[in-house]
Amino acid sequence: MKKRELVILGAGPAGLTAAVYARRADLDTLVVEKGVPGGQIRITAEIENWPGLLKAAGADLADSFHRQAEHFKADFLTADIKSLRLEGDRKIVVTSAGEIEAGAVIVATGAAFRRLGCRGEEKFIGRGVSFCAVCDAEFFVDETVAVVGGGNTAVEEAMYLTRFARKVHIIHRRDEFRADPMIRQRAAGNEKLVPVWNSVVEAIEGGDLVERVVVRNVKTGELSALDVAGVFMFIGTLPQVEFLGGLLERREGGWIVTDSRLATSGPGVFAAGDIVSGAIRQAIIAAASGCAAAFAADTYLKIKA
């Protein structure tokens, strides 16, 4: 079994920032990630609130995080994370590539997009149903599409889709968006955006591909159909904690409980980023918590040495 001082689970802004600070502290550091490093910002069209950058493509920012961690010689392993075991002072990370013993662990596996659960959603994933405008917008040039949600992500991604689609319906269960005022103002000035207020999606229908979405007005109960070629879901996120089982204390929804130093209920196990209970789910917050978790892990390992 391989032994490492620090194993970081996840390579989003939290995990990659933790890797940078851990290596600068000269910790033997391994980052385990099942996909391409970068996390959710990789599929964000534009980021305008990263300090020092007026505007950046999410994928470009993700790549810069990854390059910086590599520059400081953090090691990377591409593998699925199966489970985490605590055996006294030993932390055993079980992956699809084998088991790794760690002196300390930082859990930074982030969150994934929540599914709507309506009829037809599962059937049409990859055939008109998408959770990533940046990935799939080019398939809907001059088409009409729908976006489900009303927060920052939903409205921003809807505006991005207007670069490609002829019309973008935004289906939201309230009568105004929950997005920040500046984002709402921009959306109001975009003629291609058509809000569908006080409505929820009942079904997604079509043949081989999406052809329409059935919506229900939550105030009147009236059903109506919108002819669309695609439906993009942005209705929140769920923590990626399945591999933990009941190992760590978590709050409702699965979010990991930590103290002020990002220590979890498991000795030598820290958590950072979107997966932490009560976190403001922004890239800069995730990165800052990754830094804090790396410092805490370094302190823990020095005490144990």
User: Which of 28, 75, 132, 180 is the catalytic position?
Assistant: 132
pTM for the full predicted model = 0.83
User: What is the average pLDDT across 138-144?
Assistant: 96
Close Cβ partners of 95 (under 8 Å, ≥ 6 residues apart): 32, 77, 79, 80, 81, 82
Bridge-partner residues for 47, per DSSP?
Answer: 56
Q: Taking CA 12 as the corner, what is the angle to CA 124 and CA 27, rounded to the nearest 5 degrees?
A: 150
User: What is the average pLDDT across 20-35?
Assistant: 97
User: What is the average pLDDT across 138-155?
Assistant: 96
Q: Clarify whether 118 is annotated catalytic.
A: no
pLDDT at 234: 94
d(CA 96, CA 79): 6
Lookup: tokens for 244: 């933990």
* Mean of all residue pLDDT scores within the chain: 95
User: Which of 118, 136, 274, 298 is the catalytic position?
Assistant: 136
- Check pLDDT > 90 for residue 41: no
What is the CB neighbour count within 10 angstroms for residue 151? 16
214: pLDDT confidence band, cut at 50, 70 and 90?
A: very high
- Check pLDDT > 90 for residue 44: no
- Going along the chain from its start, the domains and CATH numbers come out as 2-113+237-304 (3.50.50.60), 121-233 (3.50.50.60)
Q: Clarify whether 291 is annotated catalytic.
A: no
- Check pLDDT > 80 for residue 267: yes
User: What is the average pLDDT across 210-228?
Assistant: 98
Bridge-partner residues for 125, per DSSP?
Answer: 129
d(CA 223, CA 21): 53
134: pLDDT confidence band, cut at 50, 70 and 90?
A: confident
50: pLDDT confidence band, cut at 50, 70 and 90?
A: very high
Phi and psi at residue 131, to the nearest 5°: -120, 15
Lookup: tokens for 182: 């500046």
User: What is the average pLDDT across 256-269?
Assistant: 97
Close Cβ partners of 295 (under 8 Å, ≥ 6 residues apart): 21, 25
235: which DSSP letter? S
Q: Clarify whether 136 is annotated catalytic.
A: yes
User: Which of 135, 175, 227, 259 is the catalytic position?
Assistant: 135
User: What is the average pLDDT across 102-120?
Assistant: 95
Q: Is the dihedral of CA 253, 254, 259, 265 positive or negative?
A: positive
202, amino acid identity: E
Gyration radius of the chain's alpha carbons: 21
